[in-house]
Amino acid sequence: MASTYLTRTFQSGGNRKKWTMSMWVKRSGLGATNILFQTYVSTYTFCPFDSSDRLQFQDGNGGNKVTSMKFRDTNAWYHIVVAIDTDNSTADDRYKIYVNGERITAFDTSSNPSSGYEGEWNKAQLMNIGRHHSSGNYHDGYMSHIHFCDGYQYQASDFGETDSTTGEWKIKTDPSVSYGTTGFFILKDGNTVTDSSSNSNTWTANGTLTKTEDCPSNVFATINPLDYSPNPATLQNGNTTYNKSSTGDTHNASMTGTLGAMTGKWYFEFKPTNTTNFVLGMVRTNHGLPNSEGYYANDAGCYGISNGGKTVGGSGTSISYSYSANDILGMAFDLDNGKFYAHVNGTYITSGDPTSGSTGTGSLGDISLGSNIYVPFVTNANYNATNLIYFNFGNGYFGTTAVSSAGTNASGNGIFEYDVPTGYTALSTKGLNL
Q: Are residues 295 and 375 in the same domain?
A: yes
Q: Are residues 60 and 179 in the same domain?
A: yes
Q: Is residue 214 part of a domain?
A: no
Q: Is residue 212 part of a domain?
A: no
Instruction: Please state, rounded to an integer, the average pLDDT across all residues of the chain.
Output: 92
Q: Is residue 50 part of a domain?
A: yes
Name the E strands within 71-200.
77-85, 95-99, 102-103, 107-111, 126-129, 141-150, 160-162, 169-171, 184-186
- Quick: pLDDT tens for 170-227: 999 999 999 999 999 999 988 899 999 999 999 999 998 888 999 999 999 999 998 8
Q: Is residue 213 part of a domain?
A: no
Q: Are residues 323 and 413 in the same domain?
A: yes
Q: Is residue 34 part of a domain?
A: yes
Q: Is residue 414 part of a domain?
A: yes
Look up the CATH number of the domain holding residue 295: 2.60.120.920
Q: Are residues 320 and 415 in the same domain?
A: yes
| Entry pTM | 0.91
Q: Are residues 234 and 375 in the same domain?
A: yes
Stronger pLDDT, 100 or 248, i.e. the higher one: 100
Q: Is the pLDDT of residue 319 over 80?
A: yes
Q: Give residues with Cβ within 8 angstroms of 340, minimum separation 6.
A: 281, 282, 303, 304, 331, 332, 333, 334, 363, 364, 365, 367
- Identify the CA nearest to 302 among candidates 378, 371, 207: 378
Q: Are residues 289 and 328 in the same domain?
A: yes
Q: Are residues 370 and 269 in the same domain?
A: yes
Q: Is residue 78 part of a domain?
A: yes
Show the domain range for 263. 223-432
Q: Are residues 167 and 252 in the same domain?
A: no
Residues present in the chain in total: 434
Among 152, 177, 206, give the residue marking a domain's end: 206
- Quick: pLDDT tens for 377-412: 998 877 778 889 999 999 999 999 999 999 999 999
Look up the CATH number of the domain holding residue 182: 2.60.120.200
- Identify the CA nearest to 97 among candidates 109, 7, 87, 89: 109
Q: What total number of domains does the chain contain?
A: 2
Q: Are residues 373 and 268 in the same domain?
A: yes
**Is 119 buried (19+), middle (13-18) or exposed (0-12) by CB count in 10 A?**
buried
